[in-house]
Structure 1
């Protein structure tokens, strides 16, 4: 047995308690004696259908009304012979109420026996709740452990991807610089052959070559720049 909803309130001078567990609703009232009613699942479904609510929604609303600051706004108790009439209603407009549930509580003949049975039900329900709480706590610990492992693994994967990205960019830069140097050498080769034949290059050709060398320097390491410049000077002096 597991208690899903329970509560206690003062209504019209009576102490009223309720337990909802395993699809059954137990209502108990006490003043100068005890009155009780056990509503089974079938009866509860009839009440839910009359107000077009699911059982869970019906009991949630019942619990909220019972736990309000003034339960007497929603519940009323009146004597009907030896029984008590317990009515749950809600005001939708001034002076207009709709009845959500009507119960007839019967007086307990053996008070001690009834109190013992009620206490046993309550303790059994609380035990079920404690077991449920312990199970939930274990599940939370497992989920927390999984979350920590997942977070750690995610950070490791991000670090690995960053390292791979750095290596790839480094290789790409090296290949690009090599291609740039190859293109630069091929463009300077006809100019060197012209120098060997005694033909001095025109000024525009020298200017364009200088511009190209300036652009190529962006990806050529400093040492390679000095070497390329000295090769051009030696070729020109010949």
Structure 2
């Protein structure tokens, strides 16, 4: 159990009890050792102004709350920058998913994130209102096309597709062996071995039209070559670098 959840659990325990809780009981409830419990209590007193008192006669800790006083609430914002970014991006991505085969499974997860963003640890909804995750130029991908690509990818089949190149403004008919789907800077790409060019290429999903899967098994490329290709491709996607193997 990490520090954040220990504090939440201690707060829950003290709010639920009106009699002191022994350190040994706290160690068992939180599955933590003596020094960890002591350190967590001191942090709650020092940083959260938690009204934790120690009763020597009963050898236990408790919240020193007056009769009728509301339970003590953990103040402040409890997300660090990485957690907040991950939560907001996940919520944004899930909110863009169209109804489909996974909708029943994803909906509870999406609702849970919304509850977190509206909870007291997140300022009771202020995060969702005050924080924005700005995406780059997002190019929409057709749902049916995406499914055809992923089907060929996971079943390890070759795929026939039409691809419209931005650089040459031409459409070509190709057979490819899908290797990896890549979500990079808010857009989807397919790393695949192109049997027309006889090398690894990166295809932007908004520019391709899958025709059908081929019964032939996909050509396998080892992970190191795929990683090297991805690094080279990323450099070539932006004006500051060159060397991309464009499709």
| Rg larger in structure | 1
TM-score, normalised to structure 1's length? 0.23
**Structure having the larger proportion of residues in helix:** 1
Q: Using CA pairs below 8 Å that are at least 6 residues apart, which structure has the higher relative contact order? A: 1
